[in-house]
Amino acid sequence: MSASSLYPPIEPFFKGELKVSDLHTIYYEQCGNKDGIPAVFLHGGPGGGIHESDRCFFDPKAYHVILIDQRGAGKSTPAFSLEENDTWSLVKDIEKIREHLKIEKWLVFGGSWGSTLSLAYAESHIERVSALVLRGIFMLRDEEIRWFYQEGASFIFPDKWEKYIEPIPENERHDFVSAYYKRLTGDDESVRLRCAKAWSTWEMATCRLKVDPLKINEASDDKFALAFARIECHYFINKGFFTPDQLLNNAHIIRESGIPVSIIQGRYDVVCPAKTAWDLYKKIPNADFHLVEDAGHSTSEVGISKLLVQATDKYKTILSK
């Protein structure tokens, strides 16, 4: 294992697509040991897509890792489509891929929005989950959206906040999510792109304890910014397609199942503040809970990546018995 705690980069042994509706086709990869412990990686955003580094949280000799680009994200088509794009369609897509690959159970690994989707999947298909590894917990509650997209985080990153609010007129700044949604789904291509980059840059600029110019640069890519901003905003204005506190209220399903759970959270995570992870831990007190004292939101922070790998290493022993 490298000094960064991650396993060395690997190439997929299979890249494929699965048509999940008349409109959507999902891209997915299979990596590691095809006869190993099944694990599914659920990316953030929504709309973020998978990255090569996502393969490196798993021992490739022990795990059969499936990574999925969710609807409209990454290499899935049609790109950044909002039609037929909702949480419960994504949950069905995960099941379709599991069934397609003839997997009985798998470890579910997700961070940020990936943790949201992991919880939604586990609470509705607990019999198909062997373990949960969750990072940067996000349950898409109103208080979480208000904190990051309306006011709270602006007190910590006021300089970055000014760039985020710049495209929105003063008279619409009482509801940034609605104001952005109107523009991200509007007919003016230049406005869509400007707003997509402003929205995406705000998140990229705040996701680490120390601002990383390389993360900010990701938001300059037109395709990434449009998928990330449009799909995120679409989910947020629709409240994640959840009833209030749905994921937290149903967390007892996970607790009562007895499956092993790891929750890894940066103390200074501005994007998904630690209170959300703490609220979840109180509902699943049998989980392994780690609050990383010198980290923000990103998996690329050393303390977080180290604990994520430790979790998958621990579960490879438990799940292979």
Residue 221 designated active-site: no
> What is the 3-state composition of the chain as percent helix, strand, coil, each rounded to the nearest 5?
45, 15, 40
- Concerning whether 81 is annotated as a catalytic residue, the answer is no
* Radius of gyration of the chain from its Cα atoms, rounded to whole angstroms: 18
- H helices of 9-68, in order, are none
Element (H, E) at 321: none
Q: Which of 76, 81, 112, 305 is catalytic?
A: 112
Active-site residue (options: 269, 298, 300, 305): 269
Distance CA 116, CA 239 (A): 12
Quick check: 203 and 271 in contact, CB under 8 A? yes
- The partner residues of 68 in beta bridges, in order of sequence, read 28, 42
* Number of neighbours of residue 166 by Cβ within 10 angstroms: 10
* Known catalytic membership, residue 190: no
Residue of 297, 298, 300, 305 marked active site: 297
Helix axes 176-184, 189-206, angle to 10 degrees: 140
Structure-token match 């705000």, residue found: 202
Catalytic (active-site) positions: 112, 269, 297
